[in-house]
Amino acid sequence: MTKLIKNIGQLLQVRDNTTALRGEEMHKLPLIENAYLVIDKGVIADFGPMSEMPSIEAEIIDAGGRIVMPSWTDSHTHLVFSASRAGEFVDKINGLTYEQIAKRGGGILNSAKKIAEISEDKLYEKSAELLKEVMQYGTGAIEIKSGYGLSLEAELKMLRVIKRLKQNFPIPVKTTFLGAHAVPEKYKNDRKLYIDLIINKMIPVIAHENLADYIDIFCEKGYFTTEETDQILQAGTRYGLKPKVHVNQFNSIGGVQMAVKHHAVSVDHLEVMTEADFDILTNSNTIATVLPACSFFIDIPYAPVKQMIDQNIAVALATDFNPGSTPSFNMNFVVSLACIKQKLTPEQAINAATLNAAAALELADEAGSISKGKKARLIMLKNFIKDYKEIPYYFATNPVDEYFL
Ligand code: NIG
Ligand code: FE
């Protein structure tokens, strides 16, 4: 049935854009005060000021002054995993760094061991439980990566779990194949064999079974080189998998250039940036996705995202939810961190977590803003939040009262 939401205190992000915002545009968050909105068959059919509200046959929802806005898009997560790594969390408290933990066999390889042991059904149950929780925090579209399998069988297990989530949940789920997340123990002395496995076995099977939308690589010292990134992206794009790539988390080794060369939809992390990295992104369509909750949790520098906006780079915010570097799926906290630690204005941060984040999943034509014809995946915020600046201000809270799908 048609729904009419009336007495909306602020209807946020009212714009028709279907591509990522840049520069000056990021400063503005268009809104209507005291508004109504009509949802018909899950689509935004109409909206405007209360003074112009039509009288139509509809289920009436009284917002009573609450804020309504597009749901968050979380464009970078590793939501499918088998067990927490709280032991490593304590190691970190006791002084070890993320890199030191990885060198001791912890980190990604630790999660891979656990994925090998769990059944697909059990993994699905755990992941579905988390995804339900994620939605309660206002995320209305999500990307989920594989990458804790690191063998054909286990990567397929993860990707099939993501496919089931896609089929069973009412929000868009995009899938990324991240076979090149770390070199497994048994290929340590012959990494080329593992790269060959990814290129000649994993990618063709995954493409044939239609199990992924994107391809990702952890392009970083100690993980995968830019040359290996080149080879894997070439193979992936041949099979229709578009690149979204982990680059510049700890070192700038040319990953940005390589990803842009392969027309990456996004490059993600970017805590360490050179002038050349800024320039190449300014002149490309690749979105820079920054992950401040990861910086917060493993205590590393924050990506220089303010400078990126100043240099006209399209930026998005995401959680990076995963058991090692970011055990949080709270997009509202990410938006707060972007303001507090990276000095984005609330307008910039909300733009980066809605419209630009949707663009980072190629969903900006149906999500990310209040626009007639876009999908009505909306959130209504709690009554104590009266102005959009209070969204990042009340940090680490869950502002979501109700969501519409
Ligand atoms: O994005 N940096 C690489 N991958 C993940 C962390 C993976 C893990 O520690 O399990 C990230 O931070
Ligand atoms: Fe990640």
Ligand 1 contact, 249 CB (< 6 A): yes
Residue identified by tokens 């609450």 is 66
* 246 Cβ closer than 6 Å to some ligand 1 atom: yes
Tens of pLDDT along 103-116? 888 999 999 999 99
Distance (Å) from CA 294 to ligand 2 centroid = 9
Half-sphere exposure of 38 (CA within 13 A, CB side): 18
* pLDDT higher than 90, residue 117: yes
Boundaries of every domain in the chain: 3-70+369-404, 73-359
SS3 label, residue 4:
strand
* φ, ψ dihedrals at 31, nearest 5°: -145, 160
CATH architecture label of 73-359: Alpha-Beta Barrel (3.20)
Hey, CA dihedral for 151, 154, 156, 161, is it positive or negative? negative
pLDDT band at 232 (very low <50, low <70, confident <90, very high): very high
Taking residues 121-138, report their average pLDDT.
98
Quote the DSSP letter at residue 169. S
Q: Output the pLDDT for position 103.
A: 86
CA distance 2 to 131: 27
Find, among 332, 341, 342, the residue nearest to 310 by Cα: 342
How many other C-beta atoms are found inside a 10 Å radius of the C-beta of residue 354?
29
Q: What mean pLDDT do residues 391-400 have? A: 96
Cα of 146 vs centre of ligand 2, distance in Å, is: 10
Closest protein CA for atom 1 of ligand 1: 320
Could you please state the CATH topology (level 3) that the domain comprising 3-70+369-404 is classified under: Urease, subunit C; domain 1 (2.30.40)
Distant-in-sequence, close-in-space partners of 114: CB < 8 Å, separation ≥ 6: 81, 82, 83, 148
pLDDT of residue 145: 98
Burial of residue 405 (number of CB atoms within 10 Å: 0-12, 13-18, 19+) = middle
Task: Give the C-alpha distances (Å, rounded to integers) separating 183 from 38, 85, 164, 271.
Answer: 51, 19, 27, 23
User: What pLDDT does residue 104 have?
Assistant: 87
For residue range 156-187, what is the model confidence (pLDDT) as tens digits? 999 999 999 999 999 999 999 999 999 999 99
For the segment 27-43, the average pLDDT, to the nearest whole number, is 98
- Rounded to the nearest whole angstrom, what is the distance from the C-alpha of residue 242 to the centroid of ligand 1? 20
- Read off the pLDDT of each residue in 262-275 and give the average, rounded to a whole number: 98
The b/e string for 73-86 (b: 16+ C-beta within 10 A; e otherwise) is bbbbbbbbbbeebe
Asked if residue 107 has its Cβ within 6 Å of ligand 1, the reply is: yes
Residue 39 and residue 370 in contact, taking contact as beta carbons nearer than 8 Å:
no
CA of residue 56 to ligand 2 center, whole Å? 46
In this structure, the residue with its CA closest to atom 5 of ligand 1 is: 325
The answer to whether the beta carbons of residues 274 and 257 sit under 8 Å apart is no
